[in-house]
Amino acid sequence: MVYLARKKIVKASTLDSIRHYYKFLNTGFVSLEPQTGAIKAWIGGINYEHFKYDHVNQSKRQVGSTFKPIVYAAALEQGYNPCTYISNAPVTYEDLDNWTPRNASSNTDANKEYAMWAALSNSLNVISVKLLNFIGIDSAVDMAYDMGIETELPKVPSLALGTAELNVLELAKAYTTLSNNGKAAIPYYITKIEDASGNVLKTFQPEKNANKAFSENTRQQLIAMMQRVADSGTAKRLRTAYKLRNDIAAKTGTTQNNKDGWFVGITPKLVSVCWVGADHHSIGFTNTRIGQGANSALPIFAKWYQKLNADSKYKKYTASRFSISSSNRSKLNCAAARNPNLLKKIFSKKDKIKQKRFDKQQKKKGFLNRLFGKRK
């Protein structure tokens, strides 16, 4: 038996109406074919009849940790590699009003150094900010623009944590670079226009982008790192809870006060981005456990992909596999974490020293630069 919900008209004050609509979570979801830019799915919100606002192209929200892979891509281009170790000890930046970035989770050890692949897999804020400091903010911003971001980005240290406000479509476009040989696809959704008799009035061909954002080695290594996110990192419930066995590179994202939940799911032939949050910026979840992107946005992608897997006509997408060379796979063959060596303990005092100049401190070359582990 099927029960249909009936609409009920009630009298409500303006304040009651605002309270009612503030309770709703909304969403935006888009999926692109990275090789062509063809838009395969576009969900602008939960109900167009009552929420006539497109959360794919109109809405811009802070993207949280989904920006971190862009920082890591810039680092890989500078010569860092997935097994470069960086200390997880918090640092206070004096020139930034004594700002001390902290990790969202306590599951990692502040006394250890983490390989870059593990830092990304666990979405470590402390290391992401340090990495941005090492490579320079300009490098990360330039990488974002090369990957197809068009919004002007704030050149601030918190950029590493995703304080930039982007829309869902723009972020998806940037991540098509990982499945499109380093080139950002140009999204399109109309192939032709016909009249009532079926006569073709206009056809459209996808635009081609000739500019590569990064090298093939960077592309393959970043995919491999983001696959670890899905296999054992912040997005591991794709495997454990939803039993997805597809080739998936992923990134979760959560913004301050759990106001925005994000999920990026990349497969060889689909790039999908999902945002979940309240329409009003002031409203967030009470805690990260329920508000994190892995809990709010990831399930939308996961359940959608379960449906794709169950339908053989989508096998073209679901059965596709990433092509990553054994040499680039081997770049991740190192322990997730290690204890710092004695010299580092002596000179850094477990990184409790205060960094006086963000984006300047680590640019000196030579013995000290090598000592503090810029490249390994």
Q: Tens digits of per-residue pLDDT, 281-290?
A: 888 888 888 8
Structure confidence at residue 97 as a pLDDT band (50, 70, 90) = confident
Confidence check: pLDDT of 179 > 70: yes
DSSP conformational letter for 164:
S
Structure confidence at residue 350 as a pLDDT band (50, 70, 90) = very low
Confidence check: pLDDT of 17 > 90: no
Structure confidence at residue 361 as a pLDDT band (50, 70, 90) = very low
Confidence check: pLDDT of 376 > 70: no
| The pLDDT of residue 286 | 85
Number of continuous H segments (helices) and E segments (strands) in the chain: 15, 12
Q: Measuring CA to CA, how many Å separate 140 from each of 155, 225, 236, 375?
A: 9, 18, 27, 17
- Note whether residue 7 is domain-resident: no
Tell me how crowded residue 230 is: count the other CB atoms within 10 A of its CB: 25
Query: Domain of 209: which CATH number?
Result: 3.40.710.10
Confidence check: pLDDT of 276 > 90: yes
| The pLDDT of residue 273 | 98
Domain count, the chain: 1
Token reading at 305: 């992909």
Contacts of 232-238 with CB under 8 Å at 24 or more apart are 232/121, 233/120, 233/121, 233/122, 233/123, 234/65, 234/121, 234/122, 234/123, 234/292, 234/294, 235/263, 235/294, 235/298, 237/294, 237/298, 237/302, 238/265, 238/298, 238/302
Q: What percent of the chain has pLDDT over 90?
A: 72
Task: Provide φ and ψ at 168, rounded to 5°.
Answer: -60, -45
Structure confidence at residue 130 as a pLDDT band (50, 70, 90) = very high
Structure confidence at residue 96 as a pLDDT band (50, 70, 90) = confident
- Note whether residue 293 is domain-resident: yes
Rounded Cα distance, 310 and 376, in Å: 44
Mean of pLDDT over the chain: 89
pLDDT in tens, 328-349: 999 999 999 999 976 666 555 5
Confidence check: pLDDT of 374 > 50: no
Across 190-201, average pLDDT: 92
Across 149-168, average pLDDT: 96
Counting every residue, how long is the chain? 376
| The pLDDT of residue 363 | 44
Across 42-69, average pLDDT: 93
Rounded Cα distance, 295 and 127, in Å: 23
Of residues 284 and 266, more confidently modeled: 266
| The pLDDT of residue 184 | 97
- Note whether residue 13 is domain-resident: no
Whole-structure pTM value: 0.89
pLDDT in tens, 218-247: 999 999 999 999 999 999 999 999 999 999
- Note whether residue 241 is domain-resident: yes
Answer yes or no: are the C-beta atoms of 252 and 123 closer than 8 Å: yes
Structure confidence at residue 206 as a pLDDT band (50, 70, 90) = confident
| Angle between helix 216-232 and 68-77 (nearest 10) | 140
Across 59-84, average pLDDT: 97
- Note whether residue 42 is domain-resident: yes
Domain holding 167, by residue range, is 25-371
- Note whether residue 18 is domain-resident: no
- Note whether residue 10 is domain-resident: no
Of residues 204 and 3, more confidently modeled: 204
Across 314-340, average pLDDT: 96
Q: Which of 67, 56, 213, 201 shows the shortest CA–CA distance to 148?
A: 213
- Note whether residue 17 is domain-resident: no
Rounded Cα distance, 69 and 269, in Å: 19
| The pLDDT of residue 366 | 37
Structure confidence at residue 6 as a pLDDT band (50, 70, 90) = low
| The pLDDT of residue 205 | 85
Across 251-271, average pLDDT: 95
Q: What percent of the chain has pLDDT over 70?
A: 89
